[in-house]
Structure 1
């Protein structure tokens, strides 16, 4: 799997309320820390859809899976420090 070139990447799906919540937290934390971030819709990539199916949102930090379903803003801030 190739992720976008950003410190934080969130795999999402349209219509997913947990994804919306995760994106809001990631956006806030990354704005405060100056970290780059991107989101990627799993339904736009057959391999991602097959691998993560209903397991979204998935958050990666520096290319390593950081969280599944929920993002803890304090933990993310610490990981980006």
Structure 2
């Protein structure tokens, strides 16, 4: 089973978050990886950590991008994680 997880940190009403969600949904579906979305307004710590950078994209808990998601870069990052060690 593929253990790659893309996480999108955002908040309601954020147009950049909507753009990021569309890219992440497409990449995750195409590559068969899981993704989740976290609303930073539900956690004081998430709000403190990510307020100035949303949307923030993580791959397996490691920050990959913020503000904008580059689809090619996201695809390449997932592909690198699938390469044999």
Q: Is the TM-score greater than 0.5?
A: yes
**1:31 counterpart residue number:** 29
Shift of 1:50: 1.4
Contact 1:6 1:38 in 2 (8 A): no
Q: Deviations over 1:13-60 (max 9, x none)?
A: 100000000000000000000010000000011111112223200000
**Aligned residue-pair number:** 77
Shift of 1:6: 5.9
RMSD: 1.4
**1:44 counterpart residue number:** 42
Runs of 4+ in structure 1 deviating by more than 4 angstroms, as ranges, are none
Q: Which runs of 5+ in 1 are unaligned?
A: none
**2:59 counterpart residue number:** 61
Distance 1:34 1:50 in 2: 32
**Greater alpha carbon shift after TM alignment, 44-53 vs 66-75:** 44-53
Larger Cα-atom Rg: 2
Q: Which runs of 5+ in 2 are unaligned?
A: 80-85
TM-score using structure 1 length: 0.89
